Structure 1
Amino acid sequence: MANATVYNNHLHSRFELFVNGTMAAYLQYEMHGGELWALRIIVDPAYRQRTAETLLIEEVLADARRSRIALLPFCPRTRAYVAARPEYLPLIPRQHRARFAVSATGKRTRLRPGAGPVPG
């Protein structure tokens, strides 16, 4: 996506994707110690057919790697993205992988009843 930039807006606890100076999408998060809790993604309808969501998720994951912080993907779209790409699995602490239905191979698994994520 041409002229796209992602900023970590610490004040509003969200990663924001701007395209040509217009906010196209954002990922809301919470920080808990060394963990980034990815809560939800909001994409402007004008950018849904483009790669805005994918670009935003990739930038959030890259930032987590650079910062060496753990990721807890409460957001279903972020969780699905990580599950489909095993190279991002190490971002999720081993003890939380079953909670997010992500196996060691990066494949999604079925959630156990009552095991679903409930952010605080």
Structure 2
Amino acid sequence: MRILYLIFSFVLFFSFSLSAESGSGKDIFDRYCTVCHSPGMASMFGAPAAQDLSAWNERKKLAYDRAVEKNSIVADKPKDWNSINELLETAKSGTDKGMPPKGTCSDCTDENLVSVIEFMSSSE
């Protein structure tokens, strides 16, 4: 299953040529992230579903704990900012569970990725 997911991810990665520069978090999600993070598919890929607040709150807590372990907490920023910053680093590098770096959005900037993370982890 993991190999099928990786092949599918790379096919999507190379087939999209749309730029993410001006898109909102939802627009970028709809173009690049919906396959793996849509409510109907996320559990199959082991990914948190968009707008699943429970799953995203758990990911934010784990991200914050990781930032504490790495001593990368920015003291003058709120806990949620630190969590999202750590989730950004994970999104940029990908995961060992099969998410390629930046998902399938090679053109995404840090700001684009943060907007997608904020969209997926909200109740929008």
TM-score by length of 1: 0.30
Q: Which has the higher strand share?
A: 1
TM-score by length of 2: 0.29
Larger relative contact order, structure 1 or 2 (CA cutoff 8 Å, min sep 6): 2
